[in-house]
Structure 1
Amino acid sequence: MKAIQFLIGFALFALASSLASAYDPSPLQDICVAIIDHKDGVFVNGKFCKDPKLAKAEDFFLSGLDKPGNTENRLGFNVTNANVEQIPGLNTLGTSAVRIDYAPYGQNPPHTHPRATEILVVLEGTLYVGFVTSNQLNNTLIAKVLNKGDVFVFPIGLIHFQVNIGKTSAVAFAGFSSQFPGVITIADTVFGANPPINPDFLGKAFQLDPKIVKDLQDKFINGN
């Protein structure tokens, strides 16, 4: 009886462990090109897949990442995505990429990717980058100045950032361990929530005067 209980417990533990470590599923077929019209498709990982026999080169292709993105915004940066939304052939393959352009002193502000680890390579310019560990490791900042050809890794789920500290534009490419890593920009999420989070609560959480919180919310929600 104890042996059976042990086997059942072990099986449940193994199942829980596999679910806990699973992000994008491992594909069980060569390709699973995502389609919008699901009439004849099969639903897999948030997307419907068309008949693999109908796949074509365009399903796995994207052009334009050689073109600079528009950095004329309040933060001075632009992200050009190459994920499953742009390349349907990425569906179930667990990978994607972006091009990031930075104006002089532009920044990709603190954010997280809930579904992916990121590896970043600098093509032009000088960036100051870093991530912050969780409470478990005392919120330690791990940061470094990167130059052309340097590579840096941001672990899955941790808050990280990049800042162009040079006087010229900078360019980087990043790869992700997910077909659709997602992004949570901390300031936009906290102060730009709609409807707004109670400013008294945020004031206590961030040790700020609620009036300052309201002012920040007005900027992020209404763009004032």
Structure 2
Amino acid sequence: MLPQKYALVCGRFILQKDFQCFVFLLKVTGLLILEDDQLKNLANRQGAMIVAPNHSALWDVVFIVAQVPALICIMKESILKNPLLGGQAGRLAGYIPVNSISQMIKLAKQCLIKNKQLLMFPEGTRTKTDAQWMNPIQGGVALLAKQTSVPVIPVFIRSNSRFFEKGWPLYKKPEFPLRMSINVAEPVYIQENESAQEFVQRLEKIYLDELSSPHPLRRVPK
């Protein structure tokens, strides 16, 4: 019933405060040790952009939106319809459902043209258990970058646990405390005459080089 301008503000405020409270509770109870200072700098960035994290776990969006509430998330339609996952607030905030790739690209492009900011997981789904560092990057992020010329901001999420990764049973308890690190890279622009496929290959190398480099929370292959 709210006008769109107020609905967007209301939805994003609800989600940010909900996620911030959740993260605070994890920290204060000693269940989570989180390094996410670089996200605070990202929140101050102006203009259209695609924030593109690797998708290590089900709750990745929680930690990012808690710090960067202006992001319009692209997520499965089933999540946006799930009241337990904040779905109604997500719909209110203008989040984009993925019910068809063509429709998703169309809506995302319209947002970027209007100088808005997107959160898009370039893997398309959570990193699979048997993936060494991450799943192959899908073409959606490259198509949007090529059609709008906006920068893609790689975000690298690392953890000492595979808690909530794809295939993790919901009943399985992880070892606490969970340790997470979220780092933000420099913007990546598609080059003149560079094809979407070439951009995907270049972007994928950036992720693999970073995620495979020495780090206390580097992913341990199974």
**Structures share fold, TM-score greater than 0.5:** no
Structure with bigger strand share is: 1
Q: Which structure is larger by alpha-carbon Rg, 1 or 2?
A: 1
TM-score (norm 1): 0.24
